[in-house]
């Protein structure tokens, strides 16, 4: 699930410069996946909660707090998006001194390895993908794309570590 800003002209009660949101949800049975677009004037927890009102299962999203709150209150498994996490490491890499390899590079390399595994398993059924992910977890219980010492982690790595458990549960 993700939301994208949209500007709607002549929306009742809002100025033409204000932001509204198009929420995108993908799901359904594996043989009949669908995509649902919802327009909402707000990006609030209440909006996310209403969109997931009758939903049960896993919710994949970025690290936006309302998704975590709704997943926790509704008993959903919250899966975190590696593309969003990787983006933060790419930003950190830009701040590194030129010609130096740093922690951001190491994290990006590890995320690339996870992407390779996901590509390899993309045609596998859900049970097979789950087994592969659990094998990764068994091989390295920390399994996250960064150092294991929180004292050595950047802010983006700390966020990634805190969300990693949700991803490997899938």
Ranges of residues in the chain with a pLDDT under 70 are 137-170
What is the pLDDT, as a whole number, of residue 50? 94
In angstroms, the CA 27 to CA 72 distance is 19
What is the pLDDT, as a whole number, of residue 74? 94
What is the pLDDT, as a whole number, of residue 75? 93
Count Cβ atoms within 10 A of the Cβ of residue 28 and give its class: 0-12 exposed, 13-18 middle, 19 or more buried: exposed
Q: Residue 164: in which H helix or E strand, if any? A: helix 155-168
Assign residue 78 a region (left: φ > 0; alpha: ψ between -120 and 50; beta: otherwise): beta
Domain boundaries, the chain: 2-78, 82-168
Per-chain mean pLDDT for the chain: 78
**Per-residue pLDDT reduced to its tens digit, 119-163:** 888 898 888 887 887 777 666 555 454 434 433 344 444 445 445
- For 86, 121, 170, the CA distances from 57, given in Å and listed in that order, are 25, 21, 10
What is the pLDDT, as a whole number, of residue 80? 79
In angstroms, the CA 79 to CA 136 distance is 16
What is the pLDDT, as a whole number, of residue 149? 40
What is the pLDDT, as a whole number, of residue 151? 38
């Amino acid at each position: 699930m993700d939301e994208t800003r949209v500007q709607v002209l002549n929306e009742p009660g809002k100025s033409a410069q204000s932001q509204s949101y198009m929420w995108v949800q993908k799901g359904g049975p594996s043989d009949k996946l669908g995509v649902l677009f919802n327009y909402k004037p707000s990006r609030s927890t209440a909006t996310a909660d209403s969109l997931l009102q009758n939903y049960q299962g896993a919710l994949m999203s970025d690290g936006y707090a309302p998704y975590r709150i709704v997943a926790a209150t509704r008993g959903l498994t919250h899966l975190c998006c590696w593309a969003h996490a990787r983006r933060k490491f790419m930003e950190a890499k830009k701040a590194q001194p030129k010609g130096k390899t740093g922690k951001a590079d190491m994290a990006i390399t590890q995320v690339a390895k996870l992407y390779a595994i996901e590509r390899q398993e993309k045609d596998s059924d859900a049970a097979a993908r789950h087994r592969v992910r659990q094998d990764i977890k068994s091989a390295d219980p920390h399994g996250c794309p960064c150092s294991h010492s929180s004292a050595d982690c950047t802010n983006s790595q700390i966020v990634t570590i805190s969300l990693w458990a949700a991803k490997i549960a899938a």
